[in-house]
Amino acid sequence: MIEYITPRTFLFSTQTVVFSVLIFVFYIFYRTFSRKYVKYWLMSLAALNVSYLIKSFVPYSSRNVSSDSWQVFAELLLQICQYSFLIFLIFGIYIAKKNKELSKEILMMGVAVIVLLSVISTVAFAFDPSQAFNHFYLTISLPSFIFGCTFLSLGCYLLFDKKNYFSSQVLMCFSAIFGLRFLLHSFISIVAVTEPWFHQLELFLLYFDVAAHSILGFTLLIWMQGAERFATLSAISRAQYLGKHDSLTGALNRGQVMAKLSDKMQELTQVNQRNKVQLKLAIFLIDIKQFKFINDTYGLKVGDYILGEIANRLNQSVFIPQAVGRLSGDSFMFVIEFEQSSHVDRAVSHIHELIERCFRYEQQEITIQGSVGYCFYPDDADKSEDLLQKANLALHHAETNNIPSVAFEEGMQAQGRHLVLMEKQLRSAIANDEFILYYQPQLNLFTNKLEGVEALVRWQHPEKGLLSPGDFLTELESLGMHNEFDNYILTKACLASERWFKQYKRRVAIAVNITAVEFQNEQLVTNIQMLLNKYGIPSKYIELEITENVVMTDITRAMDSIVKLQNMGIKVSIDDFGTGYSSLAYLRDLPIDKIKIDRSFINEVAINDSDMTIVKSMVDLSHGLGKRVLAEGVETVEQLNLLRHLGCDAVQGYFVSKPLPESKLVRYLKKK
């Protein structure tokens, strides 16, 4: 059988072994890195290898197999392998360039075209000896034409591709040469198939293709290695970039913006000394107001978009910032260089204009506001961390006092130290349960019986004695401890209600004041529901009081929260009514149960006709809208009688009773 092993058979067999090794390398590479394009190149080389195996086997088999059908089947399989080699090679290059996965529909369509084209070109004229030339054209000339056009197109694509590196250039040259080879062969096979030299040409092309395919295989291997090296370098560059920049906005991160600020401070000092000028730096800290509301209302994607857009606007500012960084969350640093103080005033206005300019995201228009605190180098400090601290103190002062912009002043440091000390004391007081509740009775003017009590917090300070709310509520608001403190007071009120019922079999409605931040917290309703269930308190015995100014902060969310609370059976009242803005206009829309008229209208209601007229209007309007009315600060019998005459539903004040500790409230609880 050794006589049947021709040089042609040996060549194809050797090429099969070589490509088997190459395929194994590609397979290991794919298993290691899982690159999609490598999978397609692996399939392409596998198809090419099978075609070499068929070519090395068919000449030996064809002499021993008399069935023409077997010969046709071998040719069909060879055609499928050759077209598969081509199409999977193209698919792999496309994915490597575009980094996109092909859809299953395209893959199925490609396979269908391969099979259909192979069947038509192989079977047509295969069993008719008189059509030998036509069969030759379909199986030799047509594939050469398709291969030629495809490789030339691939060469043009790689020529104009922007990401044109070494292996891509090699593949471009290979595609151009290989494409010309197939087009020339297609043309010559049509016009000179009967010429004696055509056989010699095919023999030459046979060895040319073997060499070209080997070059192609190793070119793809170099491509893979280069792509992984590029991916590694890109990952290193990306890591270095993320080490210096915020991944969401692209602005400098805290460490880098502080480093850049330090460098700029040194540079500015040298410039001032050299040129005898007085250039300074203004360090602005910017915080977005109610950014959590943006995320909750519009979604996290919108919030991320707004943060990125703010960073872009700051970076593109006409004031040419020396540094723009995102410190955390919705907090940004903006540093400019200036010589005249008037530049700072214009910069502050400019920053607010940048932030308040409408944001548009998918046909949504969003408007926000920001708070700004700022300080100066070298006037306020000569270290970057100290400048950041002082700008942060100014920002905190702006947010606490609801002022758009605040410059740092020396007194703020003392206030900051005071807040640090107070935070420690307040948290210790909550942990040690040093806060106690006093209860001021509320009298129903129609039944002359106890209607409920208002819970008023006091601090039993271990050193300073009993402190009123005015001594610590301001610090609580500045420290942002509203949520923790309000939940703590609500829990104490529920515990008291449970205790009274167990001891006196008496339920009394307790009114608890809720701060602005907590009332706008979406978890408020859930927290209250959990407390009522935990202590077994009917919902009608807990009443929430909110100041009118709280409601006006966010009328929509306030209305939603009130409706949810009312659906649970919890009554909601407006405290200090008449001291806010647009009281009568908003009264119509707010779904509250009770209006508490502020004591400032009650003080002279019995002697001042204007106050009496105002109170009467409030009572009539509230009743007209189906809301009950309670007057605060009643201190005389004349005030009480007048309010009863005006139709007021209930009162509270020193004439009825001053706020009482629980031990002195017992006499009211014992009365039925």
| Helix or strand run (H / E) with residue 261 | helix 254-275
Q: Report how many helices (DSSP H) and strands (DSSP E) the chain contains, helices first.
A: 25, 17
Locate 143 and state its tokens. Answer: 């594939």
Domain boundaries, the chain: 7-60+67-241, 254-410, 424-669
Q: What is the pLDDT at residue 583?
A: 52
- Tens digits of residue pLDDT in 67-79: 467 777 888 888 8
CA distances from 567 to 407, 497, 540 (A): 46, 21, 11
- Whether 672 has a pLDDT exceeding 60, the answer reads no
Q: What is the pLDDT at residue 557?
A: 67
Mark out the alpha helices in 541-661 (DSSP H runs): 548-553, 555-567, 583-587, 599-602, 609-624, 637-646
Q: How confident is the model at residue 588 (pLDDT cuts 50, 70, 90)?
A: low
Q: What is the pLDDT at residue 63?
A: 34
Amino acid identity for residue 314 in this structure: L
- Tens digits of residue pLDDT in 529-554: 899 999 999 999 999 988 655 544 45
- Whether 61 has a pLDDT exceeding 70, the answer reads no
CA distances from 81 to 144, 146, 181, 218 (A): 14, 14, 20, 20
Q: What is the pLDDT at residue 65?
A: 32
- Report the topology of domain 7-60+67-241: Rhopdopsin 7-helix transmembrane proteins (1.20.1070)
Task: Tell whether domain 424-669 is in CATH 3.40.605.10.
Answer: no
Contact 482, 520 (CB under 8 A): no
Query: What is the phi/psi pair of residue 494, to 5°?
Result: -65, -40
- Tens digits of residue pLDDT in 451-480: 999 999 999 999 888 988 888 887 787 777
Q: What is the pLDDT at residue 237?
A: 59
Q: Tell me the C-alpha distance between 116 and 123, whole Å.
A: 11
- Whether 344 has a pLDDT exceeding 70, the answer reads yes
Same fold, 7-60+67-241 and 254-410: no
- Tens digits of residue pLDDT in 217-269: 888 888 887 777 776 666 565 555 555 566 677 788 787 888 888 889 888 88
Q: Tell me the C-alpha distance between 445 and 648, whole Å.
A: 7
The fourth-level CATH superfamily of domain 254-410 is Reverse transcriptase/Diguanylate cyclase domain (3.30.70.270)
Return mean pLDDT, the chain: 83
Ramachandran category for residue 125: left, alpha or beta (phi over 0 → left; psi -120 to 50 → alpha): left
Specify the long-range contacts of residues 310-314, CB closer than 8 Å, at least 24 apart.
Answer: 310/249, 310/286, 310/354, 310/355, 311/246, 311/249, 311/250, 311/251, 312/249, 312/250, 313/354, 313/355, 313/357, 314/251, 314/286, 314/351, 314/354
Q: How confident is the model at residue 581 (pLDDT cuts 50, 70, 90)?
A: very low
Strand partners, 375: 283
